[in-house]
Amino acid sequence: MNSSSSDFESREASRFPWVSSFLGLGLIVSLSGGVYQHSQIERLGQESAATRQELAFMRQSMAQGEDGLKDALEDVRQDVAVARGDAARGIQAARNAVAKAARKQDEKHSAMAAELGTVKTAAEQAAHLGAQLGTRLGEVSQEVGGVKNEVGSVRTDVAQTRGDLEKAVADLKRTTGDLGILSGLVATNGKELAALRELGERDYVEFTLNRDKTPRKVGEIMVSLKKTDLKRNRYTIEITADDKRVEKKDRGINEPVQFYVASKARQPYELVVNQVKPNEITGYLAVPKAKLPRRG
Q: Render pLDDT for 140-169 as a digit per residue (tens, 0 to 9).
A: 578 857 757 785 775 766 566 566 656 556
Q: Residue 178 in contact with residue 256, Cβ under 8 Å?
A: yes
pLDDT beyond 90 at 4: no
Domain count, the chain: 1
The DSSP code for 294 is P
In a domain, 188, yes or no: yes
Banded model confidence at residue 252, pLDDT cuts 50, 70, 90: very high
Average pLDDT, the chain: 81
In a domain, 32, yes or no: no
Give the residue among 262, 260, 259, 286 at the shortest CA–CA distance from 272.
Answer: 286
In a domain, 4, yes or no: no
Does the pTM exceed 0.95? no
Which has the higher per-residue pLDDT, 210 or 24?
Answer: 210
pLDDT beyond 50 at 296: no
As a whole number of angstroms, the distance between CA 161 and CA 94 comes to: 90
Q: Residue 157 in contact with residue 244, Cβ under 8 Å?
A: no
In a domain, 244, yes or no: yes
In a domain, 169, yes or no: no
150-180 in b/e burial notation, b at 16+ Cβ within 10 A? eeeeeeeeeeeeeeebeebeeebeeeebbee
In a domain, 27, yes or no: no
Amino acid 66: pLDDT: 77
Q: Which domain holds residue 187?
A: 175-288
In a domain, 111, yes or no: no
As a whole number of angstroms, the distance between CA 142 and CA 146 comes to: 6
In a domain, 150, yes or no: no
From 139-148, 247-256, 269-278, the region with the lowest mean pLDDT: 139-148
Radius of gyration, CA atoms only, the chain: 75
Backbone φ and ψ for 286, nearest 5 degrees, come out as -100, 120
CATH of the domain at 230: 2.60.98
pLDDT digit string, tens, across residues 85-136: 887 887 798 788 858 877 888 888 788 788 878 868 877 886 887 788 788 8
